[in-house]
Amino acid sequence: MSSPLVTLDGVSVRRSGALVLREIGLRIEPGEAVGLFGSNGSGKTTLLRVLATLLRPSSGMGTVLGARLASSEVETIRPQIGLVAHEPALAIHLTLAENLHLVAALSGVPRSAADEALSDVGLSGASQRRVMHCSNGMRRRAEFARMLLIAPRLLLLDEAHVGLDPDASKLVAHVTAEVTARGGAVVLVSHERERAISIIHRAVEIRNGSLIEATP
Amino acid sequence: MIRHIAILFRAHLRDERRAGEVTLVIVPFGMVALLVVPMAIGIDTPLLDRIGPGLFWVVLLLFGTLVSQRQSASLSESRRDTLTLLGVDPAARFAAAAMAGTVLLTLFAVVAGTVTFMLYDPEIANPAWLGAILPLTCAGLAMVGTIATAVTSGPGARSSLAPLLVVPVSVPLLLAAAQATEGLRASAGILRWLLLLCVVDVILALAGVLTARPLEES
């Protein structure tokens, strides 16, 4: 039996004196897509940042892709984590292609793979357009192209469906399926529960920083 | 790490070339600042000759802060996160940003220096030495600005706090640069001032590299 990709045990996060996450326990198996729901300010994004190893827990233990949180081990597994944040991680003065080429160069992936990824998300015709002249939907598509390019083992999607029309929303399902089929895992935050339910295997809910198991 | 530095350095310069913040905004305003003083003083050639080099360094410090703090040099939280997850060492990010800042600041200094020579006509015995003084000073100012940007990376803090950090730390750089220029005017030795510039640059480079990760994780 393969080991879990994520284990959190009693993880709490305190920021500016306030407890944002309380005693979180979570286990995510390979091939699993987990939906994370909750109201604004409930701690969803904070939990995603902990899973992305970008935020150290104040207490508790856990592992992500086998690396212990709050240890230097996370540096080796970070390139296997993909994060699509609420705000696109794009340089606005560069073109969509240049942004993807930059990621490809830093990851040691050929530029042609970046062009392919843009084509896969339907942006090949707009690849030479500067990000500042792109719509929010195009920027989100470019973010998904970045995920296809880096092919993460753990994919974290914050507000996955924001800015995407129903047709483009299929991208979320497509990228999720790609990652889980490879034995990776996906954690998907969305306010659009109906759209998310069809993609995920399991749902969890956060209320006031505490995790509550729910069913799809 | 060197590959990452080279990639990010090119990306910084491409970003600036498109944004034009330095070439289209900061350089012209810097030149206006240099132009205003002769207009106020009038054609008092000896006075302009005396104050020209000092004014050049003041303009370089003030507008150099803007070059280091330009929008294209600052990364949004999501872009920082992406670079972290791609395995880019924070020290590589510091080096790339500081190198790009040095290039842009040197460009600014060359244009400002040319304008200073035209307007103030300072007597410099051996202008070739400026080829060493300018890049060393610009490198120091760029590193100070990059460190200050990292220290004040919280939202809203950059515009207010960064200049307060940059100005005092830049004092040894400007002191050495101004004294070296004065040495050229007086045909005196400037090697000790060049040495001071080199030492400060090395200290800033070490500080930037060693604090890059703690600053990111703080």
For the cut 80, the answer to whether the pLDDT of residue B157 exceeds it is: no
**pLDDT confidence of residue B95:** 92
Predicted complex ipTM: 0.83
**Spatial CB neighbours of B171, under 8 Å, sequence gap ≥ 6:** none
**For all residues of chain B together, what is the average pLDDT?**
84
For the cut 70, the answer to whether the pLDDT of residue A3 exceeds it is: yes
**pLDDT confidence of residue A1:** 56
**pLDDT confidence of residue B5:** 94
Beta bridge partners of B56: none
Q: Report percent pLDDT > 70 for chain A.
A: 98
Residue-wise pLDDT tens digits, A107-139: 989 999 988 999 888 888 888 999 889 888 888
The whole-number average pLDDT for the span A21-42 is 87
**pLDDT confidence of residue A102:** 92
- Taking CB atoms and an 8 Å limit, are A83 and B85 in contact across chains? yes
**DSSP per residue, chain B:** -HHHHHHHHHHHHHHHHHH-IIIIIIHHHHHHHHHHHHHHH-S-HHHHHHHHHHHHHHHHHHHHHHHHT-GGGSPPHHHHHHHHHTT--HHHHHHHHHHHHHHHHHHHHHHHHHHHHHHH----S-GGGHHHHHHHHHHHHHHHHHHHHHHT-STTHHHHHHHHHHHHHHHHHHHHHHHHHHHHHTT---HHHHHHHHHHHHHHHHHHHHHHHHHHH-
pTM: 0.81
Task: Choose the closest CB to B7 out of A56, A81, A105.
Answer: A105
Task: Choose the closest CB to B78 out of A88, A98, A130.
Answer: A88
**Minimal C-alpha gap between B63 and chain A (Å):** 22
For the cut 80, the answer to whether the pLDDT of residue B118 exceeds it is: yes
The CA distances from residue B4 to A86, B1, B86, B211, in Å, are: 26, 5, 10, 18
**pLDDT confidence of residue A205:** 86
**pLDDT confidence of residue B152:** 73
For the cut 60, the answer to whether the pLDDT of residue B155 exceeds it is: no
A52 interfacial to chain B (CB closer than 8 Å): yes
Residue-wise pLDDT tens digits, A50-98: 999 988 888 889 998 888 987 888 888 999 999 998 888 888 888 999 9
Worst-scoring range by mean pLDDT, A76-85, A192-201, B51-60?
A192-201
- Taking CB atoms and an 8 Å limit, are B4 and A87 in contact across chains? no
For the cut 70, the answer to whether the pLDDT of residue B213 exceeds it is: yes
Which residue type sits at A29?
A: E
pLDDT band at B212 (very low <50, low <70, confident <90, very high): confident
The whole-number average pLDDT for the span B182-208 is 88
**Minimal C-alpha gap between B217 and chain A (Å):** 8
Which residues in chain B have their CB less than 8 angstroms from residue A90's CB?
79
A130 interfacial to chain B (CB closer than 8 Å): yes
The whole-number average pLDDT for the span B167-187 is 84
The whole-number average pLDDT for the span B75-81 is 82
Mutation for A interface: B82, B89, B93, B218, most A CBs within 10 A: B82
The whole-number average pLDDT for the span A37-49 is 86
Q: Are A153 and A2 in contact (CB under 8 A)?
A: no
B154 interfacial to chain A (CB closer than 8 Å): no
Worst-scoring range by mean pLDDT, A48-57, A146-155, A202-211, B91-100?
A202-211
Which residues in chain B have their CB less than 8 angstroms from residue A105's CB?
7
Phi, psi values for residue A181, rounded to 5°: -65, -30
pLDDT band at B110 (very low <50, low <70, confident <90, very high): very high
